[in-house]
Amino acid sequence: MAANGLLNSKTIYVPYMCDHCYVLVAALKAHGVRAEALPPSDDESLAIGLDLCRGRECLPCFTTTGDIIRRAQQPDFDPARSVILMPTTTGPCRFGQYTALQRNFLEQKGLAGLEIISPNAKNSYQGMGDNPTQLRALIWQGMVAVDLLQKLLYQYRPYEVNLGQTDEIYQQCLERIVIATEAGGGKRTVKALQGAARQFERLPVDRSEPRPVIGVVGEIYLRLNAYSNQDIVRRVENVGGEVMVASLMEWMYFTNWLVKEFTWSMGMLLSFLGMTAVDKYQRYQETKLSQTVAHLLNHPHEPAIGRMLAHIRTYYEPYLGTEAVLSMGKAVDFGRNGVSGILNVMPFSCMPGLITAGMAPRLRADLDHIPWLDVIYDAQEGTNLNTRLEAFMYQATQFQRRRVKVNA
């Protein structure tokens, strides 16, 4: 397929948030767009970001800024033949300001020619190939596949018999999903997941001592970006837990829900119906893909967003939006599905994260006082995170035992 528009001679660079980034790049390539994932953040990119930012921005701004500049300063990088893909948003949170700020930084660094694009429905996904609708469907399919693969990883790794084997299998399966996406997805992605199911079925595990399950909620970038969250999933596993992380697709369903609520309330019937159709299609794809691994997962399907958000109506109006709504809804959903602790991760001074932390006592009171830990990240390597996690895991283990006794 040939790419369209002004960008067809340029390479689109996608900042790495999580492994879903690789299927996004693969889908772009499948649609004839030159694309490349930026390498994951590291100490160098964080240092660049911190040096440029003033300190009042949030952590994802530091790392994404640093990731862009780090790559742009490499000798093989040609700003005139490159474009950065940086999603944006509207609303109260600072994410909507990242691109404006990053354009300033590029100018400061003599990289004014390097474009930043934020494709969305309003600009008709300019530069995103000739068939943006098909492209979005392909991206969705790939992202759901990676979400499912990560669920397998988190549910199996803590119990593996041979250290490191689950990670190896995960990487192999991820690569197959990426290849399937680049080849156009569809049945290829289904097959890649079926292959993953076979590999996980054969993986030797020892579940004789079930671990307390910890539900991770909070700001999406931090939750999914291992560098920024200081590898929180592994840390919890290292102190004896099993982790369930709120998925990326949950966020997509949430934005669908918000658009549907808005268009319905404004009487925009056509837009409402259009979004309802998108939502239904995405659910259909999710169901089809999750069937391949459902027999291996405790919670293969994403809960309906409307139902999940209804859980929090007594505390907070979901239509107020921001990630606070999702984090609270997911925390209640996790709590009702048997997790033994909630970990709420957030960048320092993150408004939605702080709302969630503020509401935690009320949520916990209705969830049998489930252990809850807010972890705030400010780009400093804290020395006491492990100690706090150990204490939290102790509480979660007690909670798990109490629950088992009550249910016996």
The interface region with ligand SF4, picked from 43-51, 114-122, 126-134, 343-351 by CB under 6 A, is 343-351
Q: Which is nearer to ligand SF4, 323 or 333 (CB)?
A: 323
Min. distance of Cβ 379 from ligand SF4 in angstroms? 12
Q: Name the β-bridge partners of 242.
A: 213
115 binds ligand SF4 (CB under 6 A): no
CB of 364 to ligand SF4, least distance (A): 22
CB of 93 to ligand SF4, least distance (A): 3
Three-point CA angle 234, 243, 295, nearest 5°: 125
Residue 94 lies near ligand SF4 (rule: CB under 6 A): yes
How far apart CA 139 and CA 181 sit, in angstroms, is: 8
Q: Is 219 in the site for ligand SF4 (CB under 6 A)?
A: yes
Residue 315 is which amino acid?
A: Y
126 three-class SS: coil
The distance of closest approach from Cβ of residue 127 to ligand SF4 in the complex, given in angstroms and rounded to an integer, is 24
Q: Which of 7, 39, 2, 8 is nearest to 22 (CA)?
A: 39
Cβ neighbors of 308 (< 8 A, separation 6 or more) are: 329, 330, 332, 333
What is the pattern of x (binds ligand SF4, CB under 6 A) and - over residues 170-209?
----------------------------------------
Which of 347, 377, 399, 400 lies at the binding interface for ligand SF4 (CB under 6 A)? Answer: 347
Q: Which of 350, 357, 360, 367 binds ligand SF4 (CB under 6 A)?
A: 350
Q: Which is nearer to ligand SF4, 192 or 248 (CB)?
A: 248
Give the H/E segment covering residue 82: strand 82-85
- DSSP assignment of 229-298 equals TTSHHHHHHHTT-EEEE--HHHHHHHHHHHHHHHHHHTT-HHHHHHHHHHHHHHHHHHHHHHTTTGGG-S
Residues 353-372 that bind ligand SF4 (CB under 6 A): 353
Report CA-CA distances (Å) from 45 to 36, 37, 60, 376: 17, 15, 11, 20
Please say whether the beta carbons of 309 and 325 come within 8 A. Answer: yes
Nearer to ligand SF4, 142 or 347 (CB): 347
What is the torsional sign of CA 245, 249, 255, 261? negative
Quick check: 376 binds ligand SF4 (CB under 6 A)?
Answer: no
Residue 85, C-beta contacts closer than 8 angstroms, at least 6 positions apart: 12, 13, 14, 15, 35, 116, 117, 118, 119
> In degrees rounded to 5, what are phi and psi of residue 117?
-120, 150
Find the shortest distance in angstroms from Cβ 381 to ligand SF4: 19
Please pick, from the candidates 115, 250, 279, 323, the single residue that binds ligand SF4 as defined by CB under 6 A.
Answer: 323
Window 19 to 78, contacts with ligand SF4 (CB under 6 A): 58, 60
Q: Which stretch binds ligand SF4 (CB under 6 A): 19-27, 93-101, 257-265, 273-281?
A: 93-101
* Three-state secondary structure call for residue 377: strand
Stretch that binds ligand SF4, among 92-100, 125-133, 141-149, 173-181 (CB under 6 A): 92-100
Q: Is 311 in the site for ligand SF4 (CB under 6 A)?
A: no
Instruction: Among 16, 22, 62, 95, indicate the residue that binds ligand SF4 (CB under 6 A).
Output: 95
The one segment of 137-145, 162-170, 336-344, 350-358 that binds ligand SF4 by CB under 6 A: 350-358
Q: Which residues bind ligand SF4 (CB under 6 A)?
A: 58, 60, 93-95, 219, 323, 347, 350-353
